[in-house]
Amino acid sequence: MNGLPPALAAGLAMLPDGTFAGKTVMVTGGGTGLGLAMGREFARLGGRIAIASRSEEHRAKGVAAIRAEGGIAEGIALDVRDADQVALAFDTVEERLGPVEVLINNAAGNFPVRAEKLSPNGWRAVVDIVLTGTFLCSKAFAARRVARGESGAILNILATYVDGGAPGHAHSAAAKAGVRNLTESLAIEWAPDGIRVNALAPGLFPHDDHAPAMRSRRPDGYEAEKTRIPAGRVGKTQELGWAATYLCSPYAAFVTGHMFVIDGGDRLNRSIRNPEFEPIRDQLPD
């Protein structure tokens, strides 16, 4: 598992070409990092990608990356915390690319902070982006799919710390755990409408777009992770694209309410063999 199989490393598709041909896929926060990696894979399989986020710069970067690979992409201004903006974004995507058939709730906010120092507004910012934003986008999506009498797929991007928590990231962990639960409620509620709702929980996937606050504080970057993670490495962003496209494809037609973990076995490595406990106050600056 230290390297990719040669066929995959060469860029060969897991799903048949054209799996998403004619389908519109909205990726919130799709201009950077993991959202962009997923959008690129959907585009490679024929999907029309709507990159919905706040920053014009991020959207333009993502659209350019997908178009450079021959894909179809449009940037749509959106703050997922605002229900009016969400409604407008879905209408605009529909005008430009057609009705959204796949929704990837990927947008997130996070920063490391000791919980006793986290301001109410800092808590609200993260919980509103992650939990409320996911709900608002999912609701707008499902209302439109149900009104059309058509099926669809939602994929919520979590983090493996939905189980066990995350010291220094209490806001994000609580919000992501809420999204996991929401995934299950909505999966049951919308299954009769043909709308599948699944979740993808990544482990550690470093990338160049990460905000400085989210980067490793260790001088050797992610080198130490290679011995901590059972698979001996961190994730490659393309791997999330493969998982996301499968979960939203017709090949997963009977899969709903599921959390798919992609972490090289990291979450299973919590045992009496763990390193000595180090309080978060000793890991983060004052």
Ligand X SMILES: NC(=O)C1=CN([C@@H]2O[C@H](COP(=O)(O)OP(=O)(O)OC[C@H]3O[C@@H](n4cnc5c(N)ncnc54)[C@H](OP(=O)(O)O)[C@@H]3O)[C@@H](O)[C@H]2O)C=CC1
Tokens of 147: 């009104």
81 binds ligand X (CB under 6 A): yes
Stretch that binds ligand LOHRUJSQ, among 8-16, 68-76, 90-98, 108-116 (CB under 6 A): 108-116
| Residues in contact with ligand LOHRUJSQ, shown as a per-residue x/- string from 115 to 134 under the rule CB under 6 A | ----x-xx--xx--------
Spatial distance between the Cα atoms of 52 and 40, rounded to a whole number of angstroms: 14
Per CB under 6 A, 209 contacts ligand X: yes
Q: Is 168 in the site for ligand X (CB under 6 A)?
A: no
- Smallest gap from residue 11 Cβ to ligand X (A): 21
Task: List, edge to edge, every strand of the sheet that includes 72-77.
Answer: 72-77, 48-53, 24-28, 100-105, 152-157, 195-202, 259-262
Q: Are β-strands 48-53 and 24-28 bridged in parallel, bridged antiparallel, or unpaired?
A: parallel
CA-to-CA separations, 103 to 77, 170, 176, 220, 231, in angstroms, rounded: 16, 26, 17, 36, 30
Least Cβ distance, residue 59 to ligand LOHRUJSQ (angstroms): 14
Does residue 39 touch ligand X according to CB under 6 A? no
Rounded to whole angstroms, the Cα distance separating 58 from 78 reads 12
Q: Which amino acid is at 213?
A: A
- Exactly one of 109, 168, 178, 264 binds ligand LOHRUJSQ (CB under 6 A); that residue is 109
Cβ proximity of 181 and 226 under 8 Å: no
Beta bridge mates, 201 = 261
Contact 254, 160 (CB under 8 A): no
Residue 258, burial from CB neighbour count under 10 angstroms (0-12, 13-18, 19+): middle
Shortest separation between residue 105's beta carbon and ligand X, angstroms:
8
Q: Nearer to ligand X by C-beta: 67 or 210?
A: 210
Residue 57-76 contact track with ligand X, rule CB under 6 A, x = bound: -x------------------
- Residue number with the shortest CB distance to ligand LOHRUJSQ? 109
- Give the residue with the Cβ less far from ligand X, 48 or 169: 169
Q: Return the active site residues.
A: 161
Per-residue binding string, ligand X, 128-147, x by CB under 6 A, is -x---x--------------
Q: Which of 72, 83, 88, 111 is the binder for ligand LOHRUJSQ (CB under 6 A)?
A: 111
Q: Which residues contact ligand X by CB under 6 A?
A: 28-29, 31-35, 53-55, 58, 78-81, 106-110, 129, 133, 157, 159, 202, 204-205, 209-211
Q: Which residues contact ligand LOHRUJSQ by CB under 6 A?
A: 108-111, 113, 119, 121-122, 125-126, 159, 172, 204, 206, 210-211, 213-214
